[in-house]
């Protein structure tokens, strides 16, 4: 990280408001819940109940793994994976921007199709390219919080204060650029843990996941990506796409064409008053 980026990050974290007392209390309760099974395992081993210890460990591991790794799992808190029942359109969401090499092309493709999207932005990148953030908003798109630094491999492992820094940090970054903070949040890679729900509640955020994707973040064959997306393109779908890769504009164009061929409008969740439930 260069000196300019480091100074920007430090400045953002200095602006973060303290975690509210209610949020701290909920985090402490969640921590107690998380360590209780481990304590039970230790006590069972000490007292010789090895089979009981194995069962507790196994069940705890399964529950935590499912709640953390599966993006659509509501075990650790409310989220939406699709638009409300009865919605006739689809929602296009674009993660990981902004970037000067790719975001302008995405905006132009959306304009070509008269479509609006939700851009889930990374705070660090937004700080580096505030003019792109403002341009996204100027063109009528919705901006969401995708964490400050996008710790893809470790977000689900973060303790409450570090989670707060990531989520609140991005809120303050985007508030500083746009004059208002987002109302939607998407965790990096879709992973979350039992501390996140209270933090989102304190910041007035709802979590939006997805139910339609083509893995365009890792694939580079546009035709394969579109074939993967197409079966789930139906009314109420939330489509996950990515910024900051060389094929993102082509993938977006192909997706929007398929949406048009199906006769589906592209809508924003704000237009539908979608609520996490």
Q: Would you name the residues annotated as active-site residues? A: 95, 242
Q: 207 phi and psi, to 5 degrees?
A: -95, 125
Cβ atoms of 191 and 206 within 8 Å: the answer is: no
As a whole number of angstroms, the distance between CA 242 and CA 190 comes to: 13
Cα–Cα distances in angstroms (integers) from residue 83 to residues 87, 133, 211, 259, in the given order = 6, 25, 10, 15
Token digits of residue 40: 């039970």
As a whole number of angstroms, the distance between CA 142 and CA 34 comes to: 35
Alpha-helical (H) ranges within the chain are 3-15, 21-46, 50-69, 103-112, 123-128, 130-138, 160-178, 196-202, 222-229, 248-261, 269-272
As a whole number of angstroms, the distance between CA 141 and CA 155 comes to: 26
Token digits of residue 143: 């901006």
């Amino acid at each position: 990280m260069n000196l300019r980026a480091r100074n920007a990050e430090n400045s953002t974290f200095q602006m973060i408001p303290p975690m509210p007392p209610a949020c701290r209390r909920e985090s402490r309760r969640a921590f107690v819940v998380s360590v209780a099974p481990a304590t039970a395992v230790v006590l069972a081993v000490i007292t010789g109940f090895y089979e009981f210890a194995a069962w507790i460990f196994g069940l705890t591991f399964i529950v935590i793994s499912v709640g953390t790794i599966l993006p659509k799992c509501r075990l650790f808190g409310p989220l939406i994976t699709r638009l409300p029942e009865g919605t006739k359109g689809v929602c296009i969401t674009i993660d990981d921007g902004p970037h000067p090499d790719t975001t302008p092309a995405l905006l132009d493709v959306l304009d070509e199709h008269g479509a609006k999207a939700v851009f889930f932005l990374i705070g660090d990148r937004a700080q580096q390219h505030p003019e792109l953030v403002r341009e996204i908003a100027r063109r009528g798109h919705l901006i969401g919080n995708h964490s400050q630094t996008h710790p893809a491999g470790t977000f689900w492992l973060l303790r409450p204060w570090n989670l707060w820094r990531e989520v609140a940090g991005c809120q303050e970054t985007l508030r500083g650029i746009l004059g208002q903070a987002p109302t939607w949040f998407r965790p990096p890679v879709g992973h979350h843990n039992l501390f996140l729900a209270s933090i989102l509640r304190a910041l007035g955020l709802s979590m939006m996941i997805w139910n339609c994707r083509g893995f365009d973040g890792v694939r580079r064959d546009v035709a394969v990506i579109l074939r993967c997306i197409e079966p789930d393109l139906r009314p109420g779908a939330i489509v996950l796409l990515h910024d900051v890769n060389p094929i993102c504009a082509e993938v977006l164009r192909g997706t929007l064409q398929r949406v048009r061929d199906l006769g589906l409008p592209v809508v924003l969740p704000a237009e539908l008053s979608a609520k996490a439930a």
